[in-house]
């Protein structure tokens, strides 16, 4: 069975997947309400004011690592009788969220102390946001994996 990254990230599809993930993030942030939503919206707006291409750049850089982190789940799905990788991810949301957050955690460990401090304060919120975004991410991945079956992939 092919690796998830080999299916999701061929050169022609990488840009399309990046744009779709950026849109997913923007939709998730826009759909949040309350104080957390206001904080997320403000934080994203501030980041975009400093660097307008921050989301596409970050997503493009992190997609290979996220695909690698989700690959064990993709391989497990290939050995299951569950139809659709997205359905499998939703059934294993704790493992999927932990895999994605492990990528962010590893990246932050390489960053400076200021970034580490900020991330440390936001880590629990990040976990909640990843859980909230997982159903939409699952659907998005299914769309990009369409036509890839475990026996052929």
pLDDT of residue 149 exceeding 70, the answer is no
For the whole model, what pTM was predicted? 0.85
- Mean model confidence pLDDT for the chain: 88
pLDDT of residue 6 exceeding 60, the answer is yes
Backbone angles phi, psi at 103, to 5 degrees: -65, -45
The tens digit of pLDDT for each residue in 62-101 reads 999 999 999 999 999 999 999 999 999 999 999 999 999 9
Domain locations along the chain: 13-145
- Whole-angstrom CA distances from 141 to 21, 89, 94, 116, 131 are 9, 10, 17, 29, 15
114: tokens are: 């200021």
Q: How far apart are CA 103 and CA 108, in angstroms?
A: 9
pLDDT at 73: 97
């Amino acid at each position: 069975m092919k690796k998830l990254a080999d299916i999701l990230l061929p050169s022609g599809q990488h840009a399309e997947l990046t744009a779709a993930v950026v849109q997913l993030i923007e939709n998730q942030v826009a759909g949040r309400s309350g104080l957390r939503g206001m904080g997320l919206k403000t934080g994203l707006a501030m980041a975009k004011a400093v660097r307008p291409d921050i989301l596409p750049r970050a997503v493009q850089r992190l997609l290979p690592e996220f695909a690698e982190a989700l690959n064990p789940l993709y391989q497990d799905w290939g050995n299951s009788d569950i139809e659709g990788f997205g359905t499998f991810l939703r059934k294993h949301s704790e493992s999927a969220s932990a895999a994605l957050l492990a990528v962010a955690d590893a990246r932050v460990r390489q960053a400076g102390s200021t970034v580490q401090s900020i991330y440390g304060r936001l880590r629990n919120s990040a976990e909640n946001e990843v859980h909230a975004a997982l159903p939409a991410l699952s659907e998005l991945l299914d769309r990009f994996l369409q036509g890839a079956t475990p026996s052929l992939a």
